[in-house]
Structure 1
Amino acid sequence: MKRARPGPLRIPASYVAVLCNLALTAAAFGGIGGGPTVTITYPNGGETLTSGNPVVVTWTASDPSGYIAGADVLVSFDGGANYSPVALGVFPDSQATWFVPNRPTAQARVWVIAYDGFGNPGHDYCDAFFSVASGASGLVSTTLRDFDLPGTQPNDVLPPNSPDDCVFCHGYYNAAVEPGFNWQGSMMAHASIDPLFRAAFDLTNRYAPESGDLCLRCHMNAGWIAGRSNPTDGSQLLPQDLTGISCDLCHRMVDPFYQAGESPIEDVDILAALDDVPSAFGNAMYVVDPDNTRRRGPFSDALPPHPFLYSPFHRESNQCGTCHDVSNPAFTRNPDGSITLNALDQAPPGVGPHQMMSEQRTFSEWLYSAFNSPMGVYAPEFGGNREYVASCQDCHMRAVTGRGCASMNVPLRNDLPLHDFSGGNTWVLGLIDQVDPLVDPTAINAGVDRARYMLQHAAEMDVTRVGGDIRVRITNKTGHKLPTGYPDGRRMWINVTFFDATDQLVGQSGAYDPLTAVLAEDKQLKVYEAEAVVSPATAKLIGLPAYSHFRFAVSDLWLKDNRIPPLGFTNAAYSAVGAGVVGYSYPDGQNWDVTLYAIPVGAVRAEVKLYYQTTTKDYVEFLYAEGGPGSPGEYLWNLWNANDKCPPELMESAGILGVSTLPGDMNCDGQTNILDINAFVLAISDPVLYAATYPGCDVNNGDINADDQVNVLDINPFVALLSGG
């Protein structure tokens, strides 16, 4: 990312020569003497380099001492006004491989700084500017500049340490409560190797060049911070970069909004050292503590053996919002809600969730809900030791009783956050041991069980009969939309089956075939989902059919979003951040939805089920077709075929008897005959006793003359009905 602020360039320390950051500028540098003599040999001016290709930057360095301790390589894309690191602490070679980033310019310049054994620097610049040309192709001509975002940048700090460094103390002592075991069974731990993500990520880069940088910031954060995110397809990442959202990233995260008296005082300098401090939460615009030995956490009485800072930020949903609001920076959301493609090869004009095209709004959905309140919402099924839940952590890191590490000398807490991060993704989590055979299968299975528990408690379903219909009410019990998160392929639907007196199926809505993974269309089908598409205007610009779907990198129009909002939401607040309901209607505050299903003739009972599915056949087949042979999409498709085609998860189920609408069927057995006489007489003489004797039966089945009343005037028509008249 181009340094947004001119002035001193902060370079991370040479690995050998110095232990603290150096503040250097071209003007001030000439005053430092006694260092090596450096001569850049390539590129040295006049060349044209193509982005995406590896280039070997070469130089010579000599020193009277005969010893060169290392070198740092930096590059400028704006004529030398700002520099960013390419390689740091290069030793012993006088060369560094550089994958040219997609930042087209005619004013590129390399700067090499070498150090002698005493830390004295010497340097050289290219003799003249060289050019960088874009070598990328896609549906749009985006560059890395289109995805430049504030916060910590590649090579600014040392990358997160391996989670293996943490489990020595924070694992292998109590699987029920310890951080290590529970994190290992979470999707957070496996975000880098999630095969569904990898298939979508592959296509994202193809549609909008360099957009993968946005994905790498979160899913492969260790490699992104270490400067291995270019090319943005992840091809230069190392195995140690694939550790998901790990302990070290979260526990080195700094609140970008400094709060005097609450935030650690150290954060003043950390934030001041940034060229661009995040002004909103989202898009993995994190700030990482440059001290890679220091951790942060929510307990002020913690006394770990490593440096530690008490951090209230780690109890706040804002920290989760760092990654759980996702937007496309290449598109601007205008005040009227319309979306426009930005002028390309430029930094986005705004980085708030209200300023960009939305992809995911889980954090904002919570932010504008009743859960975001001092008391929160009564939900002991989610809170563990808490009855009321308010923050993301209250549900997804529920309070348990236990110790945070293996030592018996640490406090036994009743509000220990369980590091399980459970969501609703049972299927992909169940694939992880096929993707990486080295994972702990016990931890994975435990994580699947926890995710299933979350799904089974995320909704409440009420089923009643209303005249000739059954009424199904689904209530969202979560603090965000249901379902939420990544929308492509993710859905929830209602399945209703009707049976006659012989238990034969006489009607169905929402039928799913597990052999083909097809959800049948029908007139009453209710599917809760969101669909973003390419608008006709943008489609014309980039050469796609209007309303093309499953292409989030270039989608700019929400065609549908009927997902159920959480308690306390408002339409105005949701619309303002790109989370509004589309093609449907929910009054402010309403966290439920009602659907009526016509009862077919002959039905005497119904079964109603609510299902959730992580991904659909259409989406998996799209990823395969677009990716082609040998692609991550094909790999996912093979896993999908071999693992039950992502079977839906049952969230809720209910049965209802007495749904018959057959005239004269007063005992609700699906037939009209002499066995209905006593029930008919009772319905006329004592409707209250009839309702108690035949619960669920509809007294209106006795309205034979269709005058909207059940009384003595129905006797003769009833007799005629029995006699076949």
Structure 2
Amino acid sequence: MSASLPTRALWVVAALAVPLCAATASAWTALGVADDPLVRLPGTQPADGVVLEGPGQCMNCHDNYDPNVDVGFHWRGSMMAQALRDPLFWASVTVAAQDSIWAVGRPNAADLCLRCHTPEGWLGGRSDPSNGSGFTGSDHDGVSCAGCHKLYDPFFEDTYTGVREGSDWVGYWDESGASSTPSAAAALTTWTADGIEASTVEFFNGNGFYDGSNQPVSPGWTDHGGGQYFASSTAERRASFADANANHGQLYSRHHKSRYFCASCHDVSNAVLANLAFDGTTPNDGTTVLPTESQPAYSYGHIERTFSEFMLSDYGSGPGAAGRGVFDPI
């Protein structure tokens, strides 16, 4: 699956970038994305060393057995797989970088686009520079298997106790207890693993993001939209079945059955606008908490509100569909 950007996409980027470079090449000073407070979002950071495998290994088992049902076949034709090959996306990234240079003196706002369109490349630290020139290999496979199946629930404590999305374990969560692998026991195992992962998450200021009760230190941070990844450093894949028979380690994840899972990328906010007053803040100062680290993502810099619109609809506000079923089989 791995491939470089299509020629058409490169022409689009080049056509838009040439006049931009000519006009602004000497007008801005580079700042590494990792050190830029304007684009900082909570969660796992590229410097944390989490490595996402490309989809090739997954396809050994999850493809080429029945095109009617196998997930590999459907994924390869999906917009997720093409997320970093879409020429319209790259045109938008170019405009975002241009506007970012004009507004704040550097193109790093484009990184907010790249983090959702290639989790593997972003977590691997290859989104800097923010023109995408550092991406390689399976980075170009967009949102692939590990990009979803290594995510853990940033609100794992409240999900586990039933506070966040309810405690109807049988009716809502479909945990009947009929399996030889009870879901409740599997959920406890995952809760423990999530707690270990969460203990490593830090604010931009270097302090721990969670308190001793597994709650975010910032009580106003109640939403992880806009591409806020919380990615596991271990090899286990998280998914929605406790009794799956896989050839790799696995963890049962209520998060992957939850409406909130989709919010990770499908509510898009502009962190630059939220953090603008904190430009110049340096990492690890021990005190500063950025607005993006203390507010829900839906409250600032509206760009796309797919998930928010769902939550305010009859589907999201009642006991009906959780959202994922409409878009399965991915």
The verdict on a shared fold, with TM-score over 0.5 as the criterion, is yes
The answer to whether residue 150 in structure 2 is matched with residue 252 in structure 1 is: yes
- Contact 1:51/1:103 (<8 A) preserved: no
Counterpart of 1:356 in structure 2 is: 300
> What's the TM-score once normalised by structure 2's chain length?
0.68
What SS is found at the alignment partner of 2:272?
Answer: strand
Amino acid at match of 2:41: L
| Shift of residue 343, structure 1, vs aligned partner | 4.8
- Contact 1:157/1:288 (<8 A) preserved: no
Amino acid at match of 2:249: P
The one of the two structures with greater contact order (alpha-carbon pairs below 8 A, sep at least 6) is 2
- Contact 2:226/2:297 (<8 A) preserved: no
| Shift of residue 240, structure 1, vs aligned partner | 2.4
- Contact 2:153/2:255 (<8 A) preserved: yes
Query: Which is strand-richer, 1 or 2?
Result: 1
Write the deviation string for residues 349-374 of structure 1: whole angstroms up to 9, x where unpaired.
Answer: 23413431200111111112211256
| Shift of residue 231, structure 1, vs aligned partner | 1.0
Taking the aligned partners of 2:34 and 2:122, their CA distance within structure 1 comes to 17
Taking the aligned partners of 2:318 and 2:247, their CA distance within structure 1 comes to 34
The answer to whether residue 258 in structure 2 is matched with residue 331 in structure 1 is: no
Counterpart of 1:211 in structure 2 is: 109
Change beyond 3 A, Cα 1:178–1:353: same
Amino acid at match of 1:177: V
Amino acid at match of 1:391: A
- Contact 2:116/2:227 (<8 A) preserved: yes
Counterpart of 2:323 in structure 1 is: 392
- Contact 1:192/1:242 (<8 A) preserved: yes
Counterpart of 2:200 (choices 242, 267, 273) is 273
Counterpart of 1:301 in structure 2 is: 243
Amino acid at match of 2:145: C
Counterpart of 2:9 in structure 1 is: none
How do 1:496-507 and structure 2 match up within 5 A? none
Taking the aligned partners of 1:357 and 1:193, their CA distance within structure 2 comes to 26
- Contact 2:44/2:201 (<8 A) preserved: yes
| Shift of residue 269, structure 1, vs aligned partner | 0.9
Taking the aligned partners of 1:327 and 1:155, their CA distance within structure 2 comes to 23
Q: Which has the larger radius of gyration?
A: 1
Amino acid at match of 2:202: D
Taking the aligned partners of 2:249 and 2:318, their CA distance within structure 1 comes to 32
What SS is found at the alignment partner of 1:242?
Answer: helix
| Shift of residue 348, structure 1, vs aligned partner | 4.4
Write the deviation string for residues 273-300 of structure 1: whole angstroms up to 9, x where unpaired.
Answer: 1114573121110111101x21011011
What SS is found at the alignment partner of 2:316?
Answer: coil
Amino acid at match of 1:248: A
Write the deviation string for residues 600-634 of structure 1: whole angstroms up to 9, x where unpaired.
Answer: xxxxxxxxxxxxxxxxxxxxxxxxxxxxxxxxxxx
- Contact 1:281/1:322 (<8 A) preserved: yes
Amino acid at match of 1:286: Y
Identify unmatched segments of 5+ residues in structure 2.
Answer: 1-27, 101-106, 162-186, 204-208, 210-215, 282-288
- Contact 1:330/1:348 (<8 A) preserved: no
How do 1:67-216 and structure 2 match up within 5 A? 101=32, 144-208=36-100, 209-216=107-114
Change beyond 3 A, Cα 1:200–1:348: farther
Write the deviation string for residues 210-232 of structure 1: whole angstroms up to 9, x where unpaired.
Answer: 00111111112211111112111
| Shift of residue 258, structure 1, vs aligned partner | 1.6
| Shift of residue 242, structure 1, vs aligned partner | 1.2
Counterpart of 2:316 (choices 344, 367, 372) is 372
Q: How many positions carry a matched residue from both structures?
A: 243
| Shift of residue 204, structure 1, vs aligned partner | 0.7
How do 1:547-696 and structure 2 match up within 5 A? none
| Shift of residue 341, structure 1, vs aligned partner | 5.6
| Shift of residue 149, structure 1, vs aligned partner | 0.7
Write the deviation string for residues 98-152 of structure 1: whole angstroms up to 9, x where unpaired.
Answer: xx61688xxxxxxxxxxxxxxxxxxxxxxxxxxxxxxxxxxxxxxx221111100
Amino acid at match of 1:223: G
Counterpart of 1:238 in structure 2 is: 136
CA-based RMSD: 2.2
Counterpart of 1:494 in structure 2 is: none
> What's the TM-score once normalised by structure 1's chain length?
0.32
What SS is found at the alignment partner of 1:359?
Answer: strand
- Contact 2:33/2:39 (<8 A) preserved: no
| Shift of residue 249, structure 1, vs aligned partner | 1.1
Change beyond 3 A, Cα 1:312–1:357: same
Query: Which is helix-richer, 1 or 2?
Result: 2
Counterpart of 1:314 (choices 256, 260, 266) is 256
Write the deviation string for residues 180-224 of structure 1: whole angstroms up to 9, x where unpaired.
Answer: 000111100110111100111012112102001111111122111
- Contact 2:55/2:138 (<8 A) preserved: no
Counterpart of 2:172 in structure 1 is: none
Taking the aligned partners of 1:257 and 1:102, their CA distance within structure 2 comes to 26
Taking the aligned partners of 2:237 and 2:302, their CA distance within structure 1 comes to 32
| Shift of residue 51, structure 1, vs aligned partner | 5.3
Taking the aligned partners of 1:270 and 1:152, their CA distance within structure 2 comes to 9
Larger mean CA deviation between 276-285 and 190-199 belongs to 276-285
Amino acid at match of 2:232: D
Change beyond 3 A, Cα 1:373–1:354: closer
Counterpart of 1:287 in structure 2 is: 230
- Contact 2:226/2:269 (<8 A) preserved: yes
The answer to whether residue 120 in structure 2 is matched with residue 222 in structure 1 is: yes
- Contact 1:152/1:286 (<8 A) preserved: yes
What SS is found at the alignment partner of 1:330?
Answer: helix
